[in-house]
């Protein structure tokens, strides 16, 4: 699929001059820093040298003092505390973090993860009733609860206090909880708005430590779980998240807890783990427990205290991931065939597909795979508990949550954010929803938004790339949303030694007129371009720079992201 190349523009020459002179870097690196919000020497120092001292005061968050005081009182009074979390990676890491830390010095607490199929997303009535029957008096919700107005009222009516720790966008009415921690609250002046759910829970624990006189060094070992949540929930790797991800990745790579170590071994991860390798390796395995069955198994794994226990639990979680992959593959194949065989679906500006026996645990993945192929806002629906439930995914720049909100009269429940959302509706409303969603998307989406785009950081010549250049850009890690790995373009190149690997991938040596510099290029999934690349024609490449370690010999290698021929 042809992609648009969007070049960064509008650089401030004064800022570029300051960065080049004071930080001692070239113009390309200065542009990369400016694009990431860095404009002074001090900001560059902070960016390149993250410190846990850069974390914000948790008490800047609305209701933090109330939440910390209630938690402190509950522990002081010996109350039974429930740690309640969502069943995805963000939720399970949140629960493992809060339960694991508090359980180090307080044992009258338990955790609860709702069953995706029996209870659905968020705070459930079944969970509230269980809390009452089991003698809990305080519930701390993690990665959920911000829209649970009715469930919180139910808890209040039963004499239970609720502290909400969430990061999703609130609705028009906040739940009447004892405390509501959410940086996206309209009345919250917390300086960083993009925390993960686990991040909000971490801030609660940080506030608790400060008030209780507990050294924060006792909390920092949980940064590995926080890094997994940040990576898997696709939140921006900026500001406070970048600091926490930086130190969390250090913990994962240097001293992983038994559960993560077991998962790393199952992934056969040879290199240092990055945000990307967590997204594609660790995250899906943790997620699979909740997708296929009971997410409690993932929490047990993350809390495992011995390698033997962790390896056993990791094997169970890995088996669930294998099952998830099978459903994913089969359901995706059916969904793509439905689109290909239906002219109306092919020509629409959106995709809404329903099949009653698709697996609820993989419909979000199926939606993403449909976008990979057809690139339009997509909703995949299946039947669950006599209702239709679904996952929505969007394309760059289009707010799928806003589009779904305009269909709210057809929905029993919905939630999410700009690029991902969930819906529940009566079975009889599917056709009406498909029609109305298509009307909204057709009205609001632009032609550019229906064409995939890649953001180009800078135009460079091959001779600009060297060991020092790579050393500097590698210090910009961890990479992810908001702080992407620099994507570069070199124009008018030609290829030598063109090879096709495993019938799918492309490898060649790239050169540019006027210089003797040459680099190996690897392009996954680019085999179809082998003849053109090897024809001697000049072309343009978009790529990232990586270090290749082959049998102890290190060299720079270009990872192909796209190419264009004039």
Q: In the prediction, which pLDDT does 60 show?
A: 99
Domain region containing 75: 58-317
- Residue 335 falls inside a structural domain: no
Would you list the DSSP string of 81-96?
A: EEEEE-SSHHHHHHHH
Number of domains in the chain: 3
CB-CB contact of 290 with 92 (8 Å):
yes
Residues 361 and 303 in one domain: no
pLDDT tens per residue across span 314-348: 999 999 999 999 999 999 999 999 999 999 999 99
Q: In the prediction, which pLDDT does 116 show?
A: 84
Q: In the prediction, which pLDDT does 270 show?
A: 65
Domain boundary among 420, 450, 480: 450
Residues 433 and 460 in one domain: no
Residues 532 and 412 in one domain: no
- Residue 246 falls inside a structural domain: yes
Residues 66 and 164 in one domain: yes
Residues 152 and 296 in one domain: yes
Backbone dihedral angles phi then psi of residue 198, each to the nearest 5 degrees: -65, -35
Tokens of 130: 């269980």
Residues 400 and 446 in one domain: yes
> Which secondary-structure segment (H or E) carries 563?
strand 553-565
- Residue 558 falls inside a structural domain: yes
- Residue 265 falls inside a structural domain: yes
CB-CB contact of 178 with 160 (8 Å):
no
Q: In the prediction, which pLDDT does 269 show?
A: 66
Residues 22 and 114 in one domain: no
Can you give the CATH number for the domain in which 412 is found? 3.10.310.30
- Residue 337 falls inside a structural domain: no
Distance between CA atoms of 275 and 231, rounded to whole angstroms?
Answer: 5
- Interstrand relation of 109-112 and 458-459 (parallel, antiparallel or unpaired): unpaired
Can you give the CATH number for the domain in which 39 is found? 2.40.50.460
Residues 109 and 22 in one domain: no
Distance between CA atoms of 541 and 544, rounded to whole angstroms?
Answer: 10
Domain boundary among 395, 415, 450: 450
Distance between CA atoms of 160 and 64, rounded to whole angstroms?
Answer: 19
Residues 521 and 499 in one domain: yes
Q: Note every long-range contact of 268-273, with CB atoms under 8 Å and residues 24 or more positions apart, other chains counting.
A: 271/549, 273/249
First to last CA, the chain: 16
- Residue 163 falls inside a structural domain: yes
pLDDT tens-place values along the chain, 566 residues long: 779 999 988 899 999 999 999 999 999 999 999 999 999 999 999 999 999 999 999 999 999 999 999 999 999 999 999 999 999 999 999 999 999 999 999 999 999 999 988 888 899 999 999 999 999 999 999 999 999 999 999 999 999 999 999 999 898 999 999 999 999 999 999 999 999 999 999 999 999 999 999 999 999 999 999 999 999 998 999 999 999 999 999 999 999 999 999 999 988 766 789 999 999 999 999 999 988 888 999 999 999 999 999 999 999 999 999 999 999 999 999 999 999 999 999 999 999 999 999 999 899 999 999 999 999 999 999 999 899 999 999 999 999 999 999 999 999 999 888 888 999 999 999 999 999 999 999 999 999 999 999 999 999 999 999 999 999 999 999 999 999 999 999 999 999 999 999 999 999 999 999 899 999 999 999 999 999 999 999 999 999 999 998 888 899 999 999 999 98
Residues 28 and 82 in one domain: no
- Residue 327 falls inside a structural domain: no
Q: In the prediction, which pLDDT does 549 show?
A: 85
Residues 270 and 241 in one domain: yes
Residues 293 and 372 in one domain: no
> For 77-196, where are the alpha helices, taking DSSP H only?
89-102, 125-133, 149-157
- Residue 325 falls inside a structural domain: no
Q: In the prediction, which pLDDT does 417 show?
A: 80
pLDDT tens per residue across span 87-137: 999 999 999 999 999 999 999 999 999 998 888 889 999 999 999 999 999
Q: In the prediction, which pLDDT does 292 show?
A: 83
Would you list the DSSP string of 300-367?
A: HHHH--SHHHHHHHHHHHHHHHHHHHHHHHHHHHHHHHHHHT-HHHHHSSSEEEE-TTS-GGGHHHHH
Domain boundary among 430, 450, 470: 450
Distance between CA atoms of 107 and 387, rounded to whole angstroms?
Answer: 39
CB-CB contact of 98 with 83 (8 Å):
yes
């Amino acid at each position: 699929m042809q992609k648009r190349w969007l070049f960064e523009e509008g650089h401030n020459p004064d800022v570029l001059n300051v960065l080049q002179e004071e930080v001692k870097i070239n113009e390309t690196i200065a542009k990369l820093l400016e694009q990431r919000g860095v404009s002074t020497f001090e900001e560059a120092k902070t960016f390149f040298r993250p410190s846990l001292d850069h974390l914000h005061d948790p008490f800047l968050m609305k209701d933090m003092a109330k939440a910390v005081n209630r938690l402190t009182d509950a522990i002081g009074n010996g109350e039974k505390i429930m740690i309640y979390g969502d069943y995805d990676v963000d939720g399970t890491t949140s629960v493992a973090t809060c339960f694991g830390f508090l359980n180090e010095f307080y044992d009258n607490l338990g955790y609860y993860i709702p069953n995706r199929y029996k209870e659905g997303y968020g705070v459930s009535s079944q969970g509230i009733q269980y809390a009452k029957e089991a003698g809990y008096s305080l519930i701390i919700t993690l990665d959920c609860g911000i829209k649970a107005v009715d469930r919180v009222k139910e808890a209040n009516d039963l004499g239970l206090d609720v502290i909400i720790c969430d990061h999703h966008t609130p609705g028009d009415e906040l739940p009447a909880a004892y405390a509501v921690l959410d940086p996206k609250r309209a009345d919250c002046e917390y300086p960083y708005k993009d925390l993960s759910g686990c991040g909000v829970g971490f801030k609660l624990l940080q506030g608790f430590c400060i008030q209780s006189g507990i050294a924060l060094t006792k909390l920092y070992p949980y940064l590995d779980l926080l890094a997994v949540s940040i990576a898997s929930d696709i939140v921006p790797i900026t500001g406070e998240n970048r600091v926490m991800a930086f130190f969390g990745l250090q913990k994962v790579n240097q001293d992983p807890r038994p559960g993560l170590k077991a998962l790393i071994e199952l992934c056969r991860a040879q290199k240092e783990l990055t945000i990307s390798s967590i997204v594609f390796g660790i995250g899906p395995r943790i997620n699979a427990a909740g997708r296929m069955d009971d997410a409690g198994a993932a929490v047990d794994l993350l809390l495992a205290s011995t390698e033997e226990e962790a390896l056993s639990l990791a094997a169970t979680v890995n088996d669930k991931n294998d099952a998830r992959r099978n459903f994913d593959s089969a359901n995706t194949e059916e969904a793509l065939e439905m689109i290909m065989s239906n002219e109306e679906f092919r020509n629409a500006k959106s995709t809404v597909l329903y099949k009653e026996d698709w697996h609820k645990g993989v419909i979000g993945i199926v939606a993403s795979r449909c976008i990979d192929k057809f690139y339009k806002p997509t909703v995949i629906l299946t039947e669950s508990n006599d209702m239709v439930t679904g996952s929505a995914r969007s394309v760059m720049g289009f707010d799928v949550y806003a589009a779904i909100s305009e269909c709210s009269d057809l929905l029993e429940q919905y939630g999410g954010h700009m690029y991902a959302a969930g819906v529940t509706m009566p079975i009889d409303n599917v056709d009406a929803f498909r029609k109305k969603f298509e009307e909204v998307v057709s009205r609001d989406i632009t032609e550019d938004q229906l064409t995939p785009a890649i953001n180009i950081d800078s135009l460079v010549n091959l001779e600009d790339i060297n060991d020092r250049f790579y050393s500097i850009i590698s210090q910009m890690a961890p990479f992810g949303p908001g702080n992407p790995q620099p994507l570069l373009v070199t124009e008018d190149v030609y290829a030598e030694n063109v090879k096709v690997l495993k019938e799918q991938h492309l490898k060649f040596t790239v050169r540019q007129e006027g210089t003797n510099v040459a680099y190996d290029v690897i392009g996954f999934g680019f085999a179809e371009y082998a003849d053109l690349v090897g024809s001697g024609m000049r072309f343009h490449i978009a790529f990232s720079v990586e270090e290749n370690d082959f049998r102890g010999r290190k060299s720079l290698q270009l990872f192909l992201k796209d190419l264009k021929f004039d």
